[in-house]
Structures are given as structure tokens and as C-alpha cells.
Chain A
Amino acid sequence: MIVELGHFALILALCVAVIQTVVPMWGAQTRQAGLMAVAEPAAVMQLLLVGFAFAALTYAFVNSDFSLAVVTANSHTLKPLLYKVSGVWGNHEGSLLLWTLILALFGASAAWFGGNLPSGLKARVIAVQGSIGVAFLLFMLLTSNPFWRLEVPPLNGQDLNPLLQDPGLAFHPPFLYLGYVGLSMSFSFAVAALIEGRVDAAWARWVRPWTLAAWIFLTIGIAMGSWWAYYELGWGGFWFWDPVENASFMPWLLAGALLHSAIVVEKREALKSWTILLAILAFGFSLIGTFIVRSGVITSVHAFANDPERGVFILMILAFFTGGALMLFAWRAGALEAKGLFSVISRESALVANNILLAVSAFVVFVGTIWPLVAELALGRTLSVGAPFFDAAFTPFMVGLALILPVGAMLAWKRGDAGRSVRSLWAAGVLAVALMALAFAVQTGRSALGPVGIGLGAWVIFGALTDLWSRAGRMLARVPRLPRADWGRVTAHAGFGVTIIAVAVMNAWKVEDIRVVQIGESYPLGPYTVTLNAVNEVQGPNFLSTMADMTVTRGGVFVAHLFPEKRFYPVAQMPTTEAAIDYAFTRDLYLVIGDAQDGGGWAVRSYIEPLANWLWGGAGMMALGGLISLTDRRFRVAAGARRPGAVPAE
């Protein structure tokens, strides 16, 4: 019964979405306040209906209602409750429902928090948001209905893919979708602005928090996915340039560019049409990501079921929204009048350079991701594009970005003085070079990757600190009272530097050891000594585990007691490896237990992952920087209401 109500709510939501699209848009075109006012209740209604449908599906999962096809395919009575719930979005149909729920959530948020928006703009934004809802609700109801019943329900389900039964992965998709779908707000604002033919500082101030929020969620979502891959897949890698990873990375890069160009629109009323174009492209890439994950066109480790019918449908959605918005852009962009002038050496130009580098790097990822498809269709060549290509083709642009970041962030608006900016950064530069030299001296006979990465990251971090120092007028007392926008910028930029260091060092200085170990035997791992004490069989709730008991010491001093596991999930007939990790500030010890060997003993893989925590820390700092920025006064208080001398720290 509840399931049928959920199904019915989804159909009603489609009807409401159609009204939400048509009526306010018509009202805004014909300036009828009554019709425009439909937008808000429609957006809230939409959220309630999709929310109810989602709750109904969750209910079915929690109660193991195996008369539903998705529950049967992705759940099991023995599965822990957390994974029964996360199983709701651990499959194509349910994740699409989550996608739509978040879309409705953003639409309703526009209604709730859009109090200071002009009524026309607000009505149009909510209408565009509604139209995306129509497309995805239709997609769900026509090709991927989560409420599809089975004629003969089985006694038990087929269990969720064991790799997905993990707390990290339970929360990874919701964050990622909050990011993907959050970009729909930037898109809706861009389309609404194109229809109105007006983009000004106020528009940028409204659109920026949404973009910032989407970018923060994407950052967290991507970092969680990367962390999950690191500890779950069992060889300590954190990024594989897999098509699905790329699908989330491209919108992240473009959202990063959009964040920065929106600042130029807000402060200087320049780069308007470019910002609109970026907003369209960023959401376009979210849709391309959805297409890549769900169509199965590009094979990947975590692509959902391959279904050409679904692929064609998403391609139609993609063509309609991206193509339509780009046509609107071509038609109307000329109406956007630019105001701010700036010279070649200025903050504006530095942000343009940031945008070019981020957009080009996103383009490189895009070309690399679809190249196998292009080569097969157009050239008849079956080939692969993987990590070696992306490492070589993508990295130079990030290096360029890191090099110009500290200088650009300190240039003045309109017309800057490059000499002055460079002079104030000399200490940061000297420190960075010194650290690089130190790293060269410490390592012997290894590639330049580690030291160069450290130097580059240090340059960005010290550059960010210099930025903070000079914003405070070189007075310590003023530092805590700087606006949150400054704190946010500095934190995020420093986080970028930390991430660069971690990526370079993890790639360059990782220590790996593969060997057969007898029970009771010890072996050296860098400065550590590892002992395999025992290997036991352990019964889990829905799996069997082969669990090793290992001790790590350093110079006779106890460091860690670790239990790497090999699990087998009988229902899904799938094995997984569970690495045991000792986390520390400067390194992770990462142990993996393998097979029992014919001649006795066990295969064991051990790694020292230097600065692994800096990677998640760096990503966390970037997200935190965004969050601090988001709480800046100017987003909370109407423009012009800021009193001079007001203390922003609260």
C-alpha cells in the first residue's frame, strides 16, 4: 500500500513539475504576479511529493519488501540496517530518485531563501528548475521505475554489492548528487538571466552561494569516493582516472572556474557572458556524468546496469538542456552589457587565467574520457585511455594554476602592480624553494616528482598565508577580524597546496612490500618491523572473514596492532579485501592479507603511504574554505547594508 502511494506521489510530482515549469514562466513573460506566485507553493509541493516517494522506497528497503524488483536485486534480510537504507541509492532506479529528491530540495530552497530576489527572476529560476524535474521524473517513470513490482516475490533478496556495503560509500553518493544537482541552480539562474537579458552584480551575488554550496558538496563527495577507493580496493591507490571518477571531476573543475568568474561579475561587472556560459557548461557536464555512469557507453568499474534505452533518454535530456541553453546563449549573450574595464595585469586577468586553466584541464579530462568512444566510432580503433595519459596531459595545467595562484590572488582589481605582488611574496618563494631543496637532499636517487610537488604546494600555502597577512595590513591584531570571505579564500587556497603536496608525495615516496609470511614470522617495512601473529576465521553478520592478526613495531617500540581481513559474502558470491590501516600525521601503514600459499604461509602486501591524511585534509580544507566563504556577511545581509567598521567575527 505504502509502495503504491509512493508510486502515485511520483506521478503527482510529475504533474506538479509541469505546472511549476509552465505557469510561473508564462506569468513572468506576461508580468502576471498571480501566475508567478504559483512558483513557490509548486516547488514546495514538488519536494513533499518526491520526499514521500523516497520515504516509501526507504520503507520498502528497511522492511525487505521483496515484491519490489529493486529491493530484491539490491537487498537481503541479513544486511545491516545502515546498508538497507544506503541500498536505496545503491542502484540505478533508487539513485535516480535521490537525484530527483535533491533537485526538488534545491527548487524548494530557491523558494525559501529567495526572499530578496526580484519576483520575475525568482519565478523563472524555479520554473527552469521545474523543467529539469519534469525531464528526470519522466525518465524515471518511463524507463527506470523504482516502484516496479515482481509478479512472484522471492523469499529473499540478492544482496547489495559487498563493495558498496561500507560506511564511506553509504554517504558518498548523496554528497556527490548534492554537488551535481546543486549546479542545476547555477544553470537555472543562468537561463533565467538570459531570458531576462540582464546580468549584474546582484545576480552574481545570488548565484554565487548556490555554486559555492554545490562545489563544497562535490569536493566532499569526490574526497569520500577517493578515500573509499583508498581503503577498500586494497592497493592503496586513491585516484584511477576511471570514467566515472572523471564524470564527477569535470563538473568540479568547471564549478571551481565558475566560482572565480562569478566574483569578477560581482565585484567588477565584467566576464558576464563567460560566466553564464560556464554555468551552463558546469551543469552540462553534470548531465554528461549522469550519462556516462548510467548508459554503460563507456565501461567502468562502477557503472550501473548497461541499458541503451536509458542511455538514449539521458542523451535526449542532455541535448535538450545543454543544447537549448547554448542556443539561448548564442541568441541573447549579446544583450549582456559588460561594464568593468581592466588592464592586463589585474585581479580580473588573473581570474581569467584561472578560468582558462581550469576549463582547459576539464576539457583534457573530457577528451580523454570520450576518446575511446570517438576512436571506435570514427576511426574503428579500439583503444584505452588511462592514468598514464591523464597524469601527463592534465598535470601541467594544475602546475600552471598553482604557479600563478599566489601572485594572482594578491593583485589589485582593475590595474595591479605585478612587481609589488611578487615582492611581497619573496619570502613565500624562498621558503618553497628551500623546502624543495631539502626534499631533494633527503631523498636519494628518486624522481623529481616528490620535491617539485612539495615546493609547488609550499608556494601555494605560503602564498595564501602572505595573502592573509597583507590583507590584514601586516598587523597581527587585525588578522582575526578579517572578513570571512578572506578567511575562506585563504583556507581553500592553502587546502589546494596541501593536496598538491599529498598527491606528489604519495605517488613518489610510497613504499611497497609483497611477500609470503609464515605465522609468527617478522619482516622489515621501511623503519618498521611487522609480525604476522595469527590468521583466524571470523563470522560477520552477512559475510565470512579471514582475519590476520599483525603487530607493527619500530625499534622495539609498539606502534600498532592491525587486523587486515579478506571477506566473502556468500549471498552475492563476492569476495572483498579489507585493508588494515594505522593512520598517522606523516604516514599511513597499510596492510593487506592475501591467499594462503601452497608451501605454507600467507601472501601479505604492506605499504607505507606518506602524507596520505594530507590528501583528505587538503580536500577538507578546500571544502571548509568554501563553507567559511558561504557564511560571509554579504551573502547573509542585503547589499549595501554593511556598516563600515562592523566586526564580522561572531
Chain B
Amino acid sequence: MIRALVLALVVLAAPALAVQPDEVLADAALEARARAISQQIRCPVCQGESIDDSSAPISRDLRIIIRERLVAGDSDTAVIDYIVDRYGEFVLFNPRSTGSGLVLWLAGPAMLIVGVGVAAVAFRRRRAVVERELTTEERAKLNDLLKG
């Protein structure tokens, strides 16, 4: 009896694995698209898990909705828009690169340009300082040194 109770408890409390066998679509291409989309959607109630990885019931519902929309013939963007309309921007792991989102996407490239620029300026300035202070002979010697 106790054993049965414990077993029941185990079964009740066990985590449902992320994607369940009954959710999987027969059409492999559609299923692959569904997986790709659900990896980009954040589980609304978990901490930092995608609905593809999450075992929360709401994630299962979302995964099923995605598959229903795909079967109905929606495009990937249409499916994502459908979910964002209902759950907000928060569920997007891949933030939109429009408006203020552009800052996030351009931060890296911008920093790269700044880094290269700073390095180039510093390099030229050092060069200029050294070369201004040198006589012709010294400059020839410097060239020799740099070669060595």
C-alpha cells in the first residue's frame, strides 16, 4: 500500500520530458520547423528555459499551438507573431532588431569598430611621436632595429 502510494507520488511529481511523443508531427519537415521555432520561444513561467526544453504545462500548450498553426499552413514568422501577440515580447529569446533592439544587435560591431579605431590612432600617434624626434640617421637605425 505504502509502496503504491509512493509510486503514485513519483509518477505525479515526475517531470514531463520536454517534447512528448504524442506532440511530434508525422511530417518530418514540419516537425523540424516546429522544433526550430520552439527553441526560440521562452517558457513564460520558467527561469530562462525555452519551451522546447521546459517541462511546464504551459510550454506543452505552446508547443501544441505552434504545431497546430504550422499544420494550418502558417509561415514561421506568422507563428512567432501569433505567439508574441498573445504572450508579449518577453517570450522571444531572439529579440527583434527593430527600434531600441537595434542597439543590442549593433553593440558588438560598433565596439569592434571603436576598438580597431582606438588601436589605429594609438599606433599612428606613437609612430608620429617617435619619428618627429628622430634624425635621419636615427630613423635608418630604427628601420634596422625593426627589421632585426
A positions within 8 Å CB-CB of B? 233-235, 237, 240, 242-243, 299-301, 303, 338, 341-344, 352, 356-357, 359-361, 363-364, 367-368, 371, 375, 379, 381-389, 392-394, 396-397, 414-415, 514-516, 537, 544, 546, 566, 568, 570, 573-575, 577, 592, 594-597, 603, 605
B30 interface hit (Cβ, 8 Å): no
A243 to B112, CA, bound (A): 23
B78 interface hit (Cβ, 8 Å): no
Contact: B42 with A386, CB < 8 Å? Answer: yes
> Are A397 and B112 CB-contacts (below 8 A) given A344-B123, A368-B104, A383-B89?
yes
Pairs A-B, 9 closest by C-beta atoms: A386-B93, A388-B94, A364-B108, A594-B17, A356-B115, A415-B146, A367-B107, A383-B89, A516-B21
A532 nearest CB across to chain B (Å): 13
A212 to B42, CA, bound (A): 37
**Interchain Cβ contacts under 8 Å between A and B, 13 examples:** A344-B123, A356-B112, A357-B112, A384-B91, A384-B92, A384-B95, A385-B104, A389-B104, A515-B24, A516-B22, A570-B9, A577-B15, A603-B20
Which single member of A343, A382, A566 contacts B90 (CB below 8 Å)?
A382
Contact: B94 with A568, CB < 8 Å? Answer: no
User: Which residues on B sit within 8 Å (CB–CB) of A303?
Assistant: 47
**Residue on A nearest B142 in the bound complex, by CB:** A341
**Residue on A nearest B89 in the bound complex, by CB:** A383
B121 interface hit (Cβ, 8 Å): no
> Are A360 and B108 CB-contacts (below 8 A) given A234-B17, A299-B47, A383-B92?
yes
B73 interface hit (Cβ, 8 Å): no
B60 nearest CB across to chain A (Å): 12
Contact: B9 with A243, CB < 8 Å? Answer: no
Apart from the given pairs A371-B95, A384-B92, A605-B17, 18 other A-B contacts in the complex at a CB distance below 8 Å: A235-B53, A301-B48, A338-B126, A341-B127, A356-B115, A360-B108, A363-B107, A375-B100, A382-B88, A383-B95, A384-B95, A392-B94, A514-B17, A577-B15, A592-B17, A594-B16, A595-B16, A597-B21
Contact: A568 with B89, CB < 8 Å? Answer: no
B57 nearest CB across to chain A (Å): 13
Contact: A341 with B130, CB < 8 Å? Answer: yes
A392 to B104, CA, bound (A): 12
A9 to B50, CA, bound (A): 45
Contact: B53 with A414, CB < 8 Å? Answer: no
B116 interface hit (Cβ, 8 Å): yes
Contact: B10 with A568, CB < 8 Å? Answer: yes
> Are A388 and B40 CB-contacts (below 8 A) given A240-B48, A341-B130, A515-B21?
yes
User: Which residues on B sit within 8 Å (CB–CB) of A356?
Assistant: 112, 115-116, 119
**Residue on B nearest A517 in the bound complex, by CB:** B21
B59 nearest CB across to chain A (Å): 13
User: Which residues on A sit within 8 Å (CB–CB) of B115?
Assistant: 356, 359-360
User: Which residues on B sit within 8 Å (CB–CB) of A367?
Assistant: 104, 107-108
**Residue on A nearest B123 in the bound complex, by CB:** A344
Residues of B65-113 at the interface with A, using a CB-CB cut-off of 8 Å, are: 88-95, 100-101, 104-105, 107-108, 111-112
Contact: A299 with B146, CB < 8 Å? Answer: no
Contact: A301 with B111, CB < 8 Å? Answer: no
**Residue on B nearest A400 in the bound complex, by CB:** B112
Which single member of B9, B42, B91, B104 contacts A568 (CB below 8 Å)?
B9
> Are A595 and B11 CB-contacts (below 8 A) given A301-B49, A356-B115?
yes
User: Which residues on A sit within 8 Å (CB–CB) of B7?
Assistant: 537
B1 interface hit (Cβ, 8 Å): no
User: Which residues on B sit within 8 Å (CB–CB) of A596?
Assistant: 11
User: Which residues on A sit within 8 Å (CB–CB) of B49?
Assistant: 301
A300 to B49, CA, bound (A): 9
> Are A389 and B93 CB-contacts (below 8 A) given A338-B126, A344-B123, A414-B145?
yes
Which single member of B10, B20, B89, B142 contacts A382 (CB below 8 Å)?
B89
B132 interface hit (Cβ, 8 Å): no
User: Which residues on B sit within 8 Å (CB–CB) of A357?
Assistant: 112
User: Which residues on B sit within 8 Å (CB–CB) of A544?
Assistant: 6, 10
The interface bits of chain B over 34-66 (1 if a CB of A lies within 8 angstroms of the residue's CB, else 0) are 000001101000011110010000000000000
